[in-house]
Structure 1
Amino acid sequence: MSLIVLLAYWYTYSKWYILGSWFITHILNIAFKRLWLSPLLINALALIVLFVGIYYKLIEGQEVGASVLNVYMPIVFSSIIMNLLIFTIRKIRIKLKN
């Protein structure tokens, strides 16, 4: 599966997870002022929810792979990409001020 197909698949089926991840990442960035902390917290929470679902057999068999692909990966990936964009914009603003 190419990256473009994967991104299209995520947008089609996981857009609410991605939008929620961006919102929570934004809230965590405001709260903690550290760009590296919010993706770690979001990743930890997503893993906990995934493992709880597996432990209590809410997610079984092929649903585990689909859950990782459609829920976990878009959440973490979008949070990381958002913070990389914020980091890049901040660096550009600092260079433009000087």
Structure 2
Amino acid sequence: MDQGSVPPVFSATAEADGDRLRVVVTGEVDMATADTMYQTALRAPAAHLTLDLRGVTFFDSAAIQALVRLAQRFAGTLTVLPSRQVRRVLEISGLGDQDWLVPA
């Protein structure tokens, strides 16, 4: 079986706990999946959003745009738990010092 033909795995799941929402994202967040990540974060009303990206293996400009939109929507109440790859992309893009990004 040709491993190159296997589509990348992506998932975004949400867990609500009162006014807190935790969205766990795994796999590749790109042009095809970034909006799904964004929409998953908006499915349930929440005052605080934790975006767990520790299982993300690829993060492109569409993913950055979705993340910035979430940071605007959840200003002061967003927490992002990045994977090593996500942290690197955010640092390169100039977003590595945002208050919503959990330090390494």
Which category describes the TM-score, using the shorter chain as reference length?
under 0.3
Q: Output the TM-score relative to the length of structure 2.
A: 0.26
Larger strand fraction of residues: 2
Larger helix fraction of residues: 1
Q: Output the TM-score relative to the length of structure 1.
A: 0.27
Structure having the higher Rg: 1
